[in-house]
């Protein structure tokens, strides 16, 4: 039986203009890979990527899109279909990223704390606005994953869907950056919702990508597994294509 192809989003997280990865969103556990972010994005395209996930970690924590010029350069140079998150808290920043060629923007803290802004963004930009739902033990976290919101994650996902959000990027923070596997049971539950769900956090094995594809999920974000050499982008794309044809 053929399944819809899982869209694979290589991840680039930016902190102080550098390509980094965190462990469970902890800014005290930072790995700087010494890679040029723009050239890395271009290289992902050379390896066969179609999509890219970029997060401004400075923006996510502080609310200022500090790396926006670098991100705009990445969008233009790579030619990838890029989704961008981190520090996007006004209409002007949304418009700037979309005008630069981004496929969509991801609202995180702003979507939780300012529903009226989310509604305004959805009215103006429609499906080009996604929401990042970052969960710790089921609770939605904000401000670079450092502040608890008191909002239950699955309920919030349903509320966002009812508001008209078409794409949710859902992260289990406890899995993120650990290279110990992702939360497949969470995504199995989310796969039942009539909304595009992108899985994020802890994907370590090719078999996990196969499982997410079999669930019918829209997409998956892979970061540290690539940088740590667990598997290559080419391997991941090949496995997904082979599984789709089974």
Among candidate residues 13, 56, 58, 172, the one labeled active-site is 13
pLDDT tens by residue, 24-48: 777 888 899 999 999 999 999 999 9
Residues 143-177 have pLDDT tens digits of 777 788 889 999 999 999 999 999 999 999 888 77
Average predicted confidence (pLDDT) for the chain: 92
Q: So what's the pLDDT on residue 1?
A: 43
How far, in Å, are 57, 90, 143, 162, 173 from residue 62 at the CA level?
A: 8, 14, 7, 29, 18
The answer to whether 206 and 242 are in contact (CB under 8 A) is no
pTM summary value: 0.93
Q: What is the pLDDT of residue 65?
A: 79
In sequence order, the 6+-apart residues with CB closer than 8 A to the CB of 79 are 45
Q: So what's the pLDDT on residue 73? A: 95
Architecture label for domain 7-245: Alpha-Beta Barrel (3.20)
CA dihedral (75, 164, 59, 24) positive or negative? negative
Dihedral class, residue 9 (left if φ above 0, else alpha if ψ from -120 to 50, else beta): beta
Record the tokens describing residue 74, joined without a space: 């990445």
- The one catalytic residue in 56, 134, 172, 176 is 134
The domain ranges of the chain are 7-245
Q: Is 58 in the active site?
A: no
Whether 13 is catalytic: yes
pLDDT tens-place string over residues 207-243: 999 999 999 999 999 999 999 999 999 999 999 988 6
């Amino acid at each position: 039986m053929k399944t819809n192809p899982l869209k694979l989003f290589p991840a680039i997280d930016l902190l102080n203009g550098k390509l980094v990865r965190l462990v469970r969103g902890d800014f005290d556990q930072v790995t700087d890979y010494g890679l040029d972010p723009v050239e890395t994005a271009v290289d992902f395209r050379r390896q066969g990527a179609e999509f890219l996930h970029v997060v401004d970690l400075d923006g996510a924590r502080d609310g200022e899109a500090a790396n926006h010029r670098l991100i705009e350069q990445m969008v233009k140079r790579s030619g990838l279909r890029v989704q961008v998150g981190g520090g996007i808290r006004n209409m002007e920043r949304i418009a700037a990223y979309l005008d630069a060629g981004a496929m969509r923007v991801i609202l995180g803290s702003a979507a939780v704390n300012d529903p009226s802004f989310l509604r305004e963004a959805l009215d103006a930009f429609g499906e080009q606005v996604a929401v990042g739902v970052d969960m710790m033990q089921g609770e939605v976290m904000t401000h670079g994953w450092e502040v608890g919101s008191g909002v239950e994650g699955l309920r919030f996902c349903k509320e966002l869907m009812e508001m008209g959000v078409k794409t949710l990027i859902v992260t289990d923070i406890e899995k993120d950056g650990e290279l110990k596997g992702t939360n497949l049971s969470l995504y199995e539950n989310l796969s039942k919702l009539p909304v595009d769900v992108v899985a994020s956090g802890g994907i370590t094995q090719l078999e996990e990508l196969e499982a997410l594809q079999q669930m019918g999920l829209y997409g998956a974000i892979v970061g540290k597994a690539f940088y740590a050499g667990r598997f290559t982008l080419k391997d991941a794309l090949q496995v997904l294509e082979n599984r789709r044809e089974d």
